[in-house]
Amino acid sequence: MSKPKFKNPVVNWIDYRLPIFTFMNHELNEYPTPKNLNYFWNFGSLAGITLVIMIVTGIVLSMNYTAHIDYAFDSVERIMRDVNHGWLLRYIHMNGASFFFIVVYIHIFRGLYYGSYKAPREILWILGVLILLLMMATAFMGYVLPWGQMSFWGATVITNLFSAIPLVGESIVTWLWGGFSVDNPTLNRFFSLHFVLPFVIVGVVILHLVALHRFGSNNPIGIDVKGKQDTIPFHPYYTIKDLFGLSVFATVFAAAVFFFPNFMGHPDNYIPANPMVTPAHIVPEWYFLPFYAILRAIPDKLGGVLFMFGAIMVLFVLPWLDKSSVRSSQFRPLYKLFFWFLVIDCIALGYLGAMPAEGIYVVLSRLATAYYFFHFLIILPLLPKIESTRPLPVSISTPIITASSNASTVMAMREKK
Amino acid sequence: MRFSKSVLYFLILFNFFLSKLALSAGKAIEYPDKNWSFSSIFGTFDKASAQRGFQVYKEVCAGCHGMRLISYRNLAALGYNQDELKAIASQFEITDGPNDDGEFFTRPGRPSDKFASPYPNKKAAIAANGGAYPPDLSLIIKARPNGANYLHALLSGYVEPPKNMKVPEGMYYNKFYSGNLIAMPQPLYEDGIEYLDGTKASPDQMAIDVTTFLAWASEPELEERKQLGITVILFLIVFSILSYFSMRQIWAPIKNKN
């Protein structure tokens, strides 16, 4: 085992017994990465950094927060007014949640566009969807903690969804609440779970990275790395690119935190929770709006809940719904079209989720919901049967083959698949 | 890079969607935009106006509305010195206790005290106001969509009701209040108070001043936040430019090979 790999003898001594430096060198330094990644591949690292920001600010906030219905609201205001730079910590944490979702949604749509969920990256994708689910649970419970009007009524509406479960629904809701309404026990357990779930997310993120490093990143043309000529070491090429991406992201994030900190929040959450007064419109945070629209689109309560969860569940089985062997939409003209339809559909659902559930909005929500599932359950499985994909390049290093170029190499590629 | 272009369109759409959302929270009633000194990204509070606003609060609003999150010492941010703060605080009676005999007692306020509440508790406030709770004003600007413009409009919105409208006993017509019927009687009248600095106390002036004061109370960190924000953003822009050119340099051999 032999020749020292590192210049520093202490590092070598440790590495011989605990090969942590070899591991880091392998995974962060020489880790071979496709050389053609575009800026959409920045969003994975941005999500990871945002998670760290959320955990660090969250831990400091928790040192000043009181999880009790009589004190929670005022303890948050104490952070805003009396804790040194408490307003900065809270606004970073509060806006960080929104930015975490923005980053993760872009990350997910990047995966959809470039077919990053396809073999052999199915488990990588599934772990990602699991992270999304955990994020949603964490964000929901975090929103309850300031104990404002939207905190309280959002918690009431969402926990009540479980009462739709036949037979045991009501008992489950009572069990979730720790009582017969959203009250102090609910706030306490939400605080506890909001504290612990981010660390569960960290665990799943580590698995996500292990799965990623098994086959490496997908890339914009979606074909496998054919050899050394297709890759470059992660460091310094992608470390500097991620740093640049981070600095641009941080600029936008800072603009929100310092100049528009409450833009993505709801004014009602600056009114202390009052179980006797229901707000005119109970709206969840913006990142839940598409799911909220699906929930309200279904006229049946249980049906609505099932469809809402189904909207996420369908992502778990996505690798098996999309049967096309071509990953990137660059070579799938029809899929590309439907991808953008899906994006528009999701934005439409988000918009409809914010509108009152009445009149034309209900009809539109139903259409948009139907299209969401139609995309995943009907279009994706059928598409490969009718779609003629564009010729794939031979490798990442070979210039993209134009339509007029030699078709035989393309045929050879196809046969290999 | 066709995808990048489509994404640009997507971001524009997304932006449109967000602004639409923000509007949808604002509802149908439009409030006049007063261009507050504190609303721009370089914004600061007009301290003279906020001090007058504190006087309006103290002499008009404080009869019914508490500000439980604000202490007298916080007023230092509006330009009062320590002696003035002590003098202001001592004008109020604060209930303290229990003392060593187990009794509650009143004493003059100190700068560290929170603003004295007009009512001993919420139930008393509701009982004294015909069933309507006068909301605490500590956060009122942040707790209403388009808060500053809303409050200014509301205070100026007491007009004659339409002929066909019956205004019930104990309610008042306000053209800017959602539903138009508000339990708060018109608070601001021409020369309703006498400003210490000699400014003419027109209803609009008082509405502007008290809104400025309450905006400060809602976001006392605003000036520090915006100033720090400008420093941080400038730093990040420079940092982005530097990291961009570092990236270009590091990637040059790879880009040249292709």
Has A217 been annotated as catalytic?
yes
Contact flag A240-B250 (C-beta cutoff 8 Å): yes
Confidence at residue A408, expressed as pLDDT on a 0 to 100 scale: 47
Identify which has the larger pLDDT, A5 or A9: A9
Please report the pLDDT score of residue A405 as a whole number. Answer: 46
Question: Is A313 inside any structural domain?
Answer: no
Q: What is the dihedral of CA B167, B169, B173, B176, to 10 degrees?
A: -120
SS3 content of chain B, % helix, strand, coil (to 5): 50, 5, 45
Q: Is A84 touching B (CB cutoff 8 A)?
A: no
DSSP 3-state assignment of B144? Answer: coil
Report residue B11's pLDDT band, with 50, 70 and 90 as the boundaries: low
The amino acid occupying position A351 is Y
Give dist(CA B76, CA B62) in Å, integer: 19
Task: Indicate yes or no: CB of A354 within 8 angstroms of CB of B247.
Answer: no
Q: What is the DSSP string of B55-119?
A: HHHHHTGGGT---TT-BGGGGGGGT--HHHHHHHHHTSEEEE---TTS--EEEE--TTSBPPPSS
Residue-wise pLDDT tens digits, A239-289: 999 999 999 999 999 999 999 999 999 999 999 999 999 998 899 999 999
Report how far residue A273's alpha carbon sits from residue A307's, in angstroms, rounded to the nearest whole number. 30
Range of lowest pLDDT (A176-180, A402-406, B54-58, B222-226): A402-406
Contact across the interface for B240 and A244, Cβ inside 8 Å: yes
Residue A60 contacts residue A204 (beta carbons within 8 Å)? no
pTM attached to this predicted model: 0.91
CATH for A39: 1.20.810.10
A22 inside domain: no
Residues of A in contact with B221 (CB under 8 A): 80-81, 87
Q: Number of helices and strands (H, E) in chain B?
A: 7, 4
pLDDT of residue A398: 79
pLDDT at A415: 47
What pLDDT score does A357 carry? 86
**B35 Rama class: left (phi>0) / alpha (psi -120 to 50) / beta:** left
* pLDDT for position A404: 45
How many structural domains comprise chain A? 1
Active site includes A285? yes
Task: Give me the mean pLDDT over the B137-148 stretch.
Answer: 96
Q: Is the pLDDT of residue A67 over 60?
A: yes
For chains A and B, what is the number of CB pairs under 8 angstroms?
107
Mean pLDDT (chain A) is 93
- Please state the separation of Cα A78 from the chain's center in Å: 31
- The model's confidence at residue B255, banded by pLDDT at 50, 70 and 90, is confident
Please indicate, yes or no, if residue A97 is contained in any of the structural domains.
yes
Residues 6+ apart with CB under 8 A from A413: A391, A392, A394
Query: For residue A55, is it within any domain?
Result: yes
Quick check: is A41 in a domain? Answer: yes
Closest partner CB to B243 (pick from A247, A254, A268):
A247
Per-residue pLDDT tens digits for A127-141: 999 999 999 999 999
pLDDT value at B26 more than 50: no
Tell me which of A194, A241, A266, A375 is the catalytic residue. Answer: A241
Residue A202 domain-assigned (yes or no): yes
ipTM: 0.89
Reduce the DSSP state of residue B233 to 3 states and report it.
helix
> Per-residue pLDDT averaged across B34-43, rounded?
93
Question: Is A242 tagged catalytic?
Answer: yes
Q: Determine the distance in angstroms separating the CA of B256 from the nearest CA of chain A, rounded to an integer.
A: 13
B30, B99 contact by CB (below 8 A):
no
Check A74, A77, A122, A213 and give the catalytic one: A213
- Give the range among A83-97, B5-19, B38-52, B77-91 with minimum mean pLDDT: B5-19
First to last CA, chain A: 40
Q: What is the pLDDT of residues B81-96, one digit of tens each?
A: 999 999 999 999 999 9
Cα–Cα nearest to A312, from A128, A123, A151: A128
Residue A336, in any domain of the structure: no
Give the integer Cα–Cα distance in Å for B137 and B243.
Answer: 46
Segment among A3-7, A93-97, A290-294, B203-207 with least mean pLDDT: A3-7
Q: Work out the angle at residue A169's Cα, subtended by the Cα atoms of residues A165 and A173, and round it to the nearest 5 degrees.
A: 130
Q: Which domain holds residue A215?
A: 31-282
Q: Tell me the C-alpha distance between A63 and A82, whole Å.
A: 14
What are the domain boundaries of chain B? 227-258
Cβ within 8 Å, pair A251-B236? yes
Q: Is residue A166, in this structure, part of any structural domain at all?
A: yes
Q: Regarding predicted confidence, which is higher, B37 or B4?
A: B37
State the catalytic residue, choosing from A217, A324, A328, A329: A217
What value does the mean pLDDT take over residues B102-114?
Answer: 95
Peptide bond into B111 cis (omega under 30): no
Residues B225, A88: C-beta atoms closer than 8 Å: yes
- State percent of chain A over pLDDT 70: 94
CA distance A234 to chain B (A): 12
